[in-house]
Structure 1
Amino acid sequence: MHIRFDVPADPAYPGRVAAALSSVRLRKFSYIGVVLMAAGVIGFAASPRFRWAEQASSLWMAMVVGGLLSMLFMPWVRWRARRRSSRYAVEGAYDITDDNIMMRSGSESGGIAWDGVAQVRETPEFWIVYVARMPATVIPRRLMSAEDAETLRAYMAKRGLLRLR
């Protein structure tokens, strides 16, 4: 297998990559926010019935506010990542072989060996490549030809790396 494709200098592309990688890392804050808000609302609901719950009304309010802020953290970070990364738009390329994934962006280049890849998750626009438990990079499916995308999908499935959403 040898797949090569270019990445144009699109100002929106780095933001989409940053948003895809940050959503994976920050999803837990949304879950924490839901739990905090639920606990705060339950505390407020229990306040009229239990005297101790009435005395802790500031705690319930802090939990609701903390939960709301935690749930808004991920969209805020994604928005900032998109806004800040637009100035990093440079031409690049991917060169994917049976051994590794080589990436070039401007004058920088790097690669990941397939032996070090733990899993690959699929999103509508990217394949997110994980090394151990951390998302390391993305492979943009929309920039590949349909034949190359299917070849790569079959290769990752054969290696047991592709994990569907």
Structure 2
Amino acid sequence: MDITVRYEPTSDEVLRAFSQGLRRQLVTMYAVLVGVLLAGAAVLFATGDTSMGVALLTASVLAPLAGHWWFRRRARQQLAFLCVPTTVRVTGDGYECRTDRSTMTMRWSMFSGVTATPEFWLLFVNRQPAAFLPRAAFDGAQQTEIDAFLAARRPAGAR
């Protein structure tokens, strides 16, 4: 396999890719945060401090919304460098991304997992999103070839 494409990801596309990659961690973090806030509110209500209990209940609703907004804002700022014309080369050894300012090459053996979604191939290192390949950058035949290659590499029981 040796596929080379040129594309320019949009900031929304980059944000969606990393949001999907971080989804499990974000959901866990929000669940723990809301649980702590609700437990704190219950304790405050039980001790008769209703105003602080109401404040914690309100925070338990607003915290995930504010966290999502903050994540999207920070990600747009931090990942803007990815929104440039990019040449991607996918081979049997790994993949390479080239822009006017950088070149990154990674071997498939570096990745602890690859998740195929309808929009991306999400590449993970130690369960953290490390990179993504947008399906839209590849034509149908190339997508099929990459899917088959990644499926053959996937260990039994992997996602």
Shorter-chain TM-score tier: 0.7 to 0.9
Runs of at least 4 residues of structure 1 off by over 4 A?
83-88, 161-164
2:60 aligned partner: 67
User: Quick one: distance in 2 between partners of 1:34 and 1:163?
Assistant: 31
The one-letter code sitting in structure 2 at the alignment partner of 1:110 is: M
Q: Which of 11, 14, 30 is residue 17 of structure 1 equivalent to?
A: 14
Query: 1:111-147 CA distances to partner (integer Å, 9 max, x unpaired)?
Result: 2110111111233321110012211111011111111
1:50 aligned partner: none
User: Quick one: distance in 2 between partners of 1:98 and 1:150?
Assistant: 14
Tell me whether 1:119 sits opposite 2:117 in the alignment.
no
Counterparts in 2 of 1:123 and 1:93: CA distance versus 1, 3 Å: same
Query: SS state of the match for residue 27, structure 1?
Result: helix
2:31 aligned partner: 31
Query: 1:82-137 CA distances to partner (integer Å, 9 max, x unpaired)?
Result: 36755763211110100011111222110211011111123332111001221111
If the length of structure 1 is used for normalisation, what is the TM-score? 0.74
Query: SS state of the match for residue 55, structure 1?
Result: coil
Query: SS state of the match for residue 84, structure 2?
Result: coil
**Residues 16 and 82 of structure 1 are in contact (CA less than 8 Å); yes or no, is this contact kept in structure 2?**
no
2:125 aligned partner: 131
Structure 2 spans left out of the alignment, 5+ residues: none
1:54 aligned partner: 47
The structure having more radius of gyration, on CA atoms, is 1
Counterparts in 2 of 1:134 and 1:70: CA distance versus 1, 3 Å: same
Counterparts in 2 of 1:122 and 1:30: CA distance versus 1, 3 Å: farther
User: Quick one: distance in 1 between partners of 2:122 and 2:96?
Assistant: 15
The one-letter code sitting in structure 2 at the alignment partner of 1:60 is: G
If the length of structure 2 is used for normalisation, what is the TM-score? 0.77
Structure 1 spans left out of the alignment, 5+ residues: 48-52
Once the two structures are overlaid, the 10-residue window that deviates more, 24-33 or 137-146, is 24-33
User: Quick one: distance in 1 between partners of 2:106 and 2:58?
Assistant: 41
The one-letter code sitting in structure 2 at the alignment partner of 1:108 is: S
Once the two structures are overlaid, the 10-residue window that deviates more, 114-123 or 80-89, is 80-89
Instruction: Give the % identical residues.
Output: 25
